Amino acid sequence: MRLMQFDLLTTDTASQARAGKLTTDHGVIETPIFMPVGTVASVKGVHQRELREDINPDIILGNTYHLYLRPGTEILQKAGGLHKFMNWNRPILTDSGGYQVYSLSNRRKIKEEGVKFKSHVDGSMHLFTPENVMEIQRKIGADIIMAFDECTPYPCDYKYAKRSMHMTHRWLDRCITHFDKTPALYDYDQVLFPIVQGSTYKDLRVQSAEYIANANAFGNAIGGLSVGEPAEEMYAMTEVVTAVLPKEKPRYLMGVGTPINILENIALGIDMFDCVMPTRNARNGMLFTAYGTINIKNQKWEDDFSPIDDMGITWVDTEYSKAYLRHLFKCHELLGMQIASIHNLGFYLWLVRQAREQILAGTFTNWKEKMVKQMDNRL
């Protein structure tokens, strides 16, 4: 076991965009990075072999809430942790379940102790506390684990946002105390990221970022964005927070977002992203490309025998035509959703890797502005 390490290699001169290297026991993560979401120990619709060999992400994300319910921590611990259970030998990050608590508004009750919630699987009652969420994530065995927080909705009353933020801070203190006294269960290092909250209120975001920075954790996350607020407010809050968070530590913006969102937030100093959008949109026939989005179900693609994406980012892009992929969707064939998912994930990884190359070359800002204009089209 070796201690995790983050090296900041360079910062763009015309923006806050950064290129870095995060070294873990399961491999190196080159930042900026996008993490495909593997909610229940599976990136939906994509085989691990395709994930490794074609999409090739440095890290994926698992979901504490869902993994706790199924298959359960006892099974995961017997398997030797999530990596072995799902046959994935690269880094994994787990969120803490805070977002699922937010999304289960009609099934949960939030108190200082923690959150009581009703399982969406069988209706059984459960309690998440800062302490047991640390234990659950120790058993899941992700390389990077998240502190337990409350994700506030948008719009959110100022008083509620302030009260919730302070509770998130108190929960963080409990998370750190418990994390520090519970040993890792497997033969590799685990680190804890706290989460900045504060809704879309600048003073709360600054206060929360200062509190999180003072926790002196290995890295830091920003939560409570991409929950319905306008993109301009997301960017404004990100800018406020990154001005406070320590520059020498990795920064993770949770649940974001569209390809344009990702590029704009890279420019503001974010290193890590995750979002269900590439796979969820793929299952609905929406493809992301460097020149805009494609609704493959539209009739205009019916007799278009050109490649799905002539840039050939993944093998599916050149192996199948738009007409064939549209046919699969019209027939409700599962292969169509799989092909679209591989394409979208491949595109997201291509985008952040291109961003990294541009940052290292000192050409990020002009490239980013060109890409944002290109991608803001419906083809």
Cα-to-chain-centroid distance, residue 342: 17
Rounded alpha-carbon distances, angstroms, from residue 315 to 100, 268, 283, 346: 34, 32, 18, 9
Helix (H, G, I), strand (E, B) or coil at 274: strand
Tokens at residue 302, please? 């019916």
Q: Which residues are catalytic?
A: 95, 274
Helix (H, G, I), strand (E, B) or coil at 318: helix
Instruction: Label residue 249 exposed, middle or buried (CB < 10 Å: 0-12, 13-18, 19+).
Output: middle
Instruction: Label residue 370 exposed, middle or buried (CB < 10 Å: 0-12, 13-18, 19+).
Output: exposed
User: Residue 31 CB: number of other CB atoms within 10 A?
Assistant: 27
Could you tell me which of 66, 77, 75 has the C-alpha nearest to residue 42?
A: 66
Could you tell me which of 30, 23, 32 has the C-alpha nearest to residue 270?
A: 32
Ranges of H-type helices in the chain: 48-50, 64-69, 73-79, 82-86, 98-103, 130-140, 158-181, 202-214, 231-242, 259-267, 277-283, 315-319, 322-330, 334-361, 364-375
Could you tell me which of 309, 372, 363 has the C-alpha nearest to residue 14?
A: 363
**Alpha carbon distance 121, 244 (integer Å):** 40
